[in-house]
Amino acid sequence: MINLLLFPVLIPFLFAAVLLLFPKKVKAQRIVTMIGLLFALASSFVLLYKVKVDGVQALTLGSWAPPFGITMVSDMLSALLVTSSLIIALFVVWYSFTSIGEEREKAFYYPAILFMLTGVNGAFTTGDIFNMFVFFEVLLMSSYVLIVLGGEKVQLKESIKYIIVNVVSSSLFVITVGYLYSVVGTLNMADISVKLAEVGPSGIVTVIAVLFLIVFGIKGGIFPLFFWLPGSYAAPPVPVLALFGALLTKVGVYAIMRTYTLFFTADIGYTHNLLMILSILTIVVGCIGALAYFDVKQIIIYNIVIAVGVILFGASVMNESGMMGSVFYLIHDILIKGALFLLIGIIIKITGTSDLRKMGGLMKRYPLLAWCYLIVAFGLAGIPPLSGFIGKLLIVQGGFEGELLWQSIFILASSLLVLLSAIRIFIYAFWGEEKGDHLISKKKYRHLLAPAITLAGITVLYGVGAEYLVPFMADATNVLLDPSIYVDAVFEGVK
Amino acid sequence: MEILMSILIGFLFMAAVYLILSRSLIRIIIGTGLLSHGTHLLLLTMGGLGGESAPVLADGITDYADPLPQALILTAIVISFGVTAFSLVLAYRTYKVVGTDNMDLMKGNEDND
């Protein structure tokens, strides 16, 4: 099973290609998509087990020895991320059956999701920096389709901006790869790591590091570069929003974590400090945004920005607790944002508006939804024993160990603001008098609630069962902190 | 030769930024096209220009061109063609639905402010 690590990339791709053949048969589309996702998820679990038992897996395509051929590498971090992205996709697709509408389903909605998964999983798995650009383009191209699908006025207006921002950032990505190539003369990430270690700290490498931060920062939504995110993410319907919010920004975050631990470890004083300052500012701006809006979508979207800041802060301190906290929080955030968006989607479907001031009193008729939302909101804010707690605790612990007292206290304080912003939704939407029409039938409500509750259950399990996940997280942390494990795995067959 | 290429690339980037900052949608898309052309030339220059022979292994050939940047540019060109085509179609649809191609008039949306 040497090709095992390609399965989560190739299975969605093959199923998407098959789905293109019969776009009008909605039932068949749904079934085939589900089968494909289940296959991919099963393969990713096998991969997870394999990586746990045998260590980092590397595959050189066409048996061209590294650094000449394209390498695919699956370490614990990427295996975990691939698994969680497939879980999210599974629930979003399940939720879409009742939510997205037949018109969109007939317009290649499911193939676009599967192609996007190909890009996301590919970007998580690739061991070649230019190949990462290609997979980024695959996921971006599918995200362009998803964001514009339906062709409403808002969608068209926002997707134009989304596309232009991403085209410019993709150009910058190629430019940066070009600079990197002129310095080290290779594209293989393991080889770059070795060569850059030989070059040592130098000005040009720092410039490349900052350029990479800008490129991935635009995708991930860090402080000065997140400006496109609130507008563009609010435009598409909720299942697409859930997919984007849970996955797309995390690809940028993963790329920053990967490049900043594997390549740019020579000048930590400058690059990682910059990353830390930006992540703190990201949290500040995210908190302001999350409290400023009365629109449920916008509140949760700004919570994505906060989470990106928290994860990158943990990564920037570069010690064991901080990094482990980052990995914990990264997976937590993928799951919890997915669950939150699905629940928010039900609220919007029931009330027909996303404005908090126009809703109220849902508690009486929809108690299950209310309690489920409350649990997820507590998980988001990090109330023990739910899933946000462990990650944030480790990140703050890492901050204290790295003697970043104020910054760590800041992270703790931001939890309170996150809780406040999430509870505001609860108070406005579920308490008070009943307002507005209830536009949804009982049957449809149950169909929408099932995937959301299951996903919320998974986030709870992730928090409560954290003890069983620690060995996995420790493996991921070890690879991040000690690049030689990664490098040795890639060059294993050569030496 | 590298200096000349750098100036050309800089000029392309300048024109691209000028066009991207303008208000008309179609100018912005032309701007992104120029940006990707500049990027591809930069990639070529970064790999080092020159090299007398084709990059084929044979006896006595030492001064050969670097094949890798050309492969990268081929990939990047195909991608940028695809994205440009998509954004042109999207710009047309947006013009039809929104009724303008002026980016100033596409700010905000009715629900939020």
Q: Per residue in A468-486, pLDDT tens?
A: 999 999 999 999 999 899 9
Contact B112 A144 (CB under 8 A): no
pTM given for the model: 0.94
Strand A71-74 relative to strand A57-60, pairing: antiparallel
What does the pLDDT read at residue B56?
A: 75
Contact A182 B46 (CB under 8 A): yes
Nearest CA in chain B to A138: B79
Q: Which residues of A touch B19 (CB under 8 A)?
A: none
Distance from CA of B67 to the nearest CA of A (A): 12
Q: Strand, helix or coil at B1?
A: coil
- pLDDT over 70, % of chain A: 99
Chain A residues with at least one Cβ partner in B under 8 Å: 130, 133-134, 137, 140-141, 144, 148, 151, 153-154, 156-161, 163-164, 167-168, 170-171, 174-175, 177-179, 181-182, 187, 231, 234-235, 293, 295, 298, 354-355
Q: Are A375 and A386 in contact (CB under 8 A)?
A: yes
Rg of chain A over Cα atoms, rounded to whole angstroms, equals 22
Closest Cβ–Cβ partner in B43, B68, B98 for A156: B98
Distance from CA of A465 to the nearest CA of B (A): 40
Q: Are A286 and A305 in contact (CB under 8 A)?
A: yes
What does the pLDDT read at residue A1?
A: 64
Poorest-confidence range of A26-35, A407-416, B46-55? B46-55
The model's pLDDT over A229-240, given as tens digits with 9 standing for 90+, comes to: 988 898 899 999
Q: Indicate if the pLDDT at residue A32 is higher than 60.
A: yes
Distance from CA of B22 to the nearest CA of A (A): 13
Distance from CA of A219 to the nearest CA of B (A): 17
Q: Indicate if the pLDDT at residue A430 is higher than 90.
A: no
Q: Which residues of B touch A167 (CB under 8 A)?
A: 32, 35-36, 80, 83, 87
What does the pLDDT read at residue B110?
A: 56
Distance from CA of B40 to the nearest CA of A (A): 8
What does the pLDDT read at residue B112?
A: 47
Question: In A246-381, which residue ranges form alpha helices assigned H by DSSP?
Answer: 249-262, 268-292, 296-317, 320-351, 367-381
- pLDDT over 90, % of chain A: 63
Question: CA dihedral in degrees (B40, B45, B51, B54; nearest 10)?
Answer: -10
Count CB neighbours of A102 within 10 A.
10
**pLDDT by 10-residue block (mean), chain B, 113 residues:** 92 96 93 94 86 75 82 92 93 90 75 47
Q: Strand, helix or coil at A408?
A: helix
Closest Cβ–Cβ partner in A156, A168, A355 for B97: A156
pLDDT interval class at A154 (50, 70, 90): confident
Q: How many CB pairs under 8 A join A and B?
A: 104
What does the pLDDT read at residue B108?
A: 64
The model's pLDDT over A294-338, given as tens digits with 9 standing for 90+, comes to: 899 999 999 999 999 999 999 998 889 999 999 999 999 999 999
Which residue is listed with tokens 């909101």? A377
Residue B21 identity: L
Q: Which residues of B touch A159 (CB under 8 A)?
A: 90
